[in-house]
Every structure is written in C-alpha cells, then in structure tokens.
Structure 1
Amino acid sequence: MSDVLWIAYLGLLGAPAIGFLLKGKYKTVSMKIDFIVTATTWTGLFGYVTGLSIGVAILWKIIFFVGILWDLLFVIYFDQSDEKIEELSEVAVKATTIVFSVVMLIPLYYGIYRYAFYIL
C-alpha cells in the first residue's frame, strides 16, 4: 500500500513540473533553478521509492540540504505567483503559500533523507 502512495506522490510532484515546462513558465533564472532542483529531488525520491541506487550517498546528502534551502528560499523570496485572492491580504496569501509548500514537501525530503542516509 505504501508503494502506491509513494508513486502517487511522485506523480503529484512531477505533473506540475512537466506542465510548467510544456507551458513555458520557466522563464526567469530563479524558475529555471527551481526546475533543476525539482527534477533532481524528484529523481532522488524516485530512487528511494524504487530502491534503485542512483549516484553516491554523499551526492544525495548534499542534494538533501541544498534542496531544502532552495525550496525555502524560493517559496519565501522568489515565488511570484500571479494568483491573488481578493478576500485575503497579500501577507495571508504568502503565509498560506509557505505553509502549504512546506507541508507538501515534507514527504519529498523525508524520502531523500532516507535515501541519502540509510539506503545507499
């Protein structure tokens, strides 16, 4: 059962990234860096879920810490969403985005942590 949930989560993470790529949304430097980090961390989670050894453990340890740092910086400082909710203030929208992003990324970094520090 857990394998099905992990695979569903992989799809949940991968689908928006591929959609953004196909729509040409990766125009700024920060968006391009985010795509590279997303693809790399997704690959690490794929390795964890499937049990494949992709690269060496030290690489995934570095990716684990760099990925967390980048995702936090990106969500807090670089993400310039076009979506505005009229009933909420800009601060409330930003806070909601940060909390939602962190909650969505916890399983990703749990998997990469397990992959880097226990599996390889």
Structure 2
Amino acid sequence: MSDILWIAYLGLLGAPAIGFLLKGKYKTVAMKMDFVVSIMTWTGLFGYVTGIPIGSALVWKIVFFVGILWDLIFVMFIDHSDEKIEGLSEKTVKTTTVVFSIIMLIPLYYGIYRYAFHMM
C-alpha cells in the first residue's frame, strides 16, 4: 500500500513540473533553477521509492541539503506569483503558499533523507 502512495506522490510532484515545461512557463532564471532542483529531488525520491541506487550517497546528501535550502528560499523570497485571491490580503496568500509548500515537500525530503542516509 505504501508503494502505491509513494508512486502517487511522485506523480503529484512530477505532473505540474512537466506541465509547466510543456507550457513554457519556466522563463526566469529562478524558475529554471527551480526546475533543475525539482528534477534532482524528484530523481532522488524515485530512487528511494523504487530502491534503485542512482549515484552515490554523497550526491544525495548534497541534493538533500541544497534542495531544502533552495525550496525554502524560493518559496519564501523568490516566488512572487501574481496570484491574487479576492478577499484575501497578499500576506495571507503568501503565508498560505509557504505553509502549503512546506507540507507538500515534507514527504519529498523525508524520502531523499532516507535515500541519502539510510539506503545507500
């Protein structure tokens, strides 16, 4: 059962990234950098879920720390989405985005942590 949930989570993370790529939404340097980091972290999670060794443990330890740092910086400071939600302040939208992003990324970094520090 847990394998099915991990595979579904992989799809949940990968589908929007592929959709953004196909629609040409990675226009800024920050967005392109985010895409590269997303590919690296997704690959690490894929390796964890499937049990396939990809690269060395050192690589995944670096990806783990760089990925967390990048995602926090990107979500909190760089991602200036122009999304306006009627009736909500900009601060409320930003706070909700940060909290939701962190919640969504916890399983990703749990998997990469396990892959880097326990599987290889």
> Same fold by TM-score, threshold 0.5 exceeded?
yes
CA-to-partner distance for each residue in 1:84-115, whole Å, 9 max, x for gaps?
Answer: 10111000000000000000000000000000
Residue number in structure 2 paired with 1:99: 99
CA-to-partner distance for each residue in 1:9-68, whole Å, 9 max, x for gaps?
Answer: 000000000000000000000000000000000000000000000000000000000000
Residue number in structure 1 paired with 2:48: 48
Q: How many residues align?
A: 120
TM-score under structure 2 length normalisation: 0.99
Q: Given residue 103 of structure 1, which amino acid in structure 2 is its aligned partner? A: I
Residue number in structure 1 paired with 2:32: 32
Cα distance in 1 for partners of 2:24, 2:74 equals: 19
Cα distance in 2 for partners of 1:3, 1:101 equals: 23
Residue number in structure 2 paired with 1:61: 61
C-alpha displacement of 1:80? 1.8
Q: Residue 88 of structure 2: SS of its match in structure 1?
A: coil
Q: Percent identity?
A: 77
Listed as ranges, the gaps of 5+ residues in structure 2 are none
Q: CA RMSD in A?
A: 0.5
Cα distance in 1 for partners of 2:111, 2:14 equals: 15
Cα distance in 2 for partners of 1:27, 1:70 equals: 18
Listed as ranges, the gaps of 5+ residues in structure 1 are none
Q: Residue 87 of structure 2: SS of its match in structure 1?
A: coil
> Which runs of at least 4 in structure 1 moved beyond 4 Å after TM superposition?
none
TM-score under structure 1 length normalisation: 0.99
Cα distance in 1 for partners of 2:80, 2:15 equals: 20
Cα distance in 2 for partners of 1:85, 1:117 equals: 41
Cα distance in 2 for partners of 1:32, 1:77 equals: 16
C-alpha displacement of 1:81? 1.3
Please show how residues 71-110 of structure 1 align to structure 2 within 5 Å: 71-110=71-110
